[in-house]
Amino acid sequence: MKAYLSDRMGAALLMAPLLLFLGAAYAWPFFGVVNWSFTLPEPGLGQYGTLLSDPLVQSVFVRTLRIAAIVTIVSVAAAYAITVVWVRGTPTQRVIAEFCILVPFWISVLTRAFGWVALLSNRGLFNTWLQAIGFISEPLTLVRNEFGVIVGMTHFLIPFAVFPLASSMRSLDDRVLLAARGLGSSRMRTFWSVFVPMTRSGIIGSALIVFVFSLGFFVTPAILGGGRSVMVAELIYLRIFQSPDWGLGAAISVVLVLFVGALMALLFRYVRPKQLI
């Protein structure tokens, strides 16, 4: 018993500096933001009332949730296909897939966003090429809208969705797949009925990572949205630095943090026991 208590005390002492750092770096500033939301420009719940009554703020939240959901679905689907090749492909396929996964991490998000502007703008490579072959007569509007935001965010987040999927796929027992094939199951049925359900923990983990990242995205929506597809993070920036309306910006930040925390709590409480174990 004494040895057990001693080990627990030692672990607590080792974790204490980390907890103090996290408290100083995250918790304390967050409490300051919470204080702003209740005290600026005057004490009270007025800013939270604005969140519930202002159509502009509500439309931004709805747009953010919609874009985050679309980006999550597309990113996880694309990452799943890439991960299958990376984990179960031939050696050459694995090298190519790994190259495609790792190279985006070497390029900054700002560079990638402007790269998509160069590709998708009215005079960009994509529209120029389509007009040159006679496929379209007028350039397509592919940036400064939700489509451009979704494309840029999906491109950025696919690599982040790969790693939970890869971990889940590498933990599979190949004998289960061989047994399904031995019982007469086709490759397609084995994939959909055996392989995919056994990797659902990776799918859930990837979806959670991508969705949470999407809720707080700033640079890509600001550049590819062109101010026409404002998301929550950009709205917070506008309220804090340009309006300025620090109280409302702080209230939006608090709601966003609490929403993400509630989402993660619900997933870990209700999904994990049934899906992740």
Distance CA 13, CA 10 (A): 5
Q: Please, which contacts does 31-34 make with residues 24 or more away whose CB atoms are closer than 8 Å?
A: 33/250, 33/253, 33/254, 34/250, 34/254
Number of domain units in the chain: 1
In a domain, 60, yes or no: yes
In a domain, 1, yes or no: no
So what's the pLDDT on residue 6?
A: 62
Distance CA 233, CA 217 (A): 6
So what's the pLDDT on residue 277?
A: 42
Closest CA to 247 of 30, 44, 26: 44
In a domain, 5, yes or no: no
Question: CATH number of the domain that 179 lies in?
Answer: 1.10.3720.10
Confidence (pTM): 0.87
In a domain, 94, yes or no: yes
In a domain, 2, yes or no: no
So what's the pLDDT on residue 181?
A: 82
So what's the pLDDT on residue 275?
A: 44
Domain that holds residue 267: 56-244+254-276
Give every CB contact of residue 93 below 8 A, 6+ residues apart in sequence.
85, 86
So what's the pLDDT on residue 273?
A: 45
Distance CA 26, CA 129 (A): 48
Per-residue pLDDT of the chain (277 residues; tens, 9 = 90+): 555 556 667 677 778 887 788 778 888 888 889 998 898 888 888 889 888 888 999 999 999 999 999 999 999 999 999 999 999 989 999 999 999 898 888 888 889 999 999 999 888 889 999 888 888 888 888 999 999 999 999 999 999 999 999 988 988 888 888 888 888 888 888 888 889 999 988 898 899 889 989 998 899 999 998 888 899 999 999 888 887 888 999 999 999 999 888 888 877 765 544 444 4
So what's the pLDDT on residue 1?
A: 54
In a domain, 172, yes or no: yes
Give every CB contact of residue 222 below 8 A, 6+ residues apart in sequence.
234, 237
In a domain, 194, yes or no: yes
In a domain, 264, yes or no: yes
Q: Which amino acid is at 131?
A: Q
So what's the pLDDT on residue 274?
A: 43
So what's the pLDDT on residue 162?
A: 94
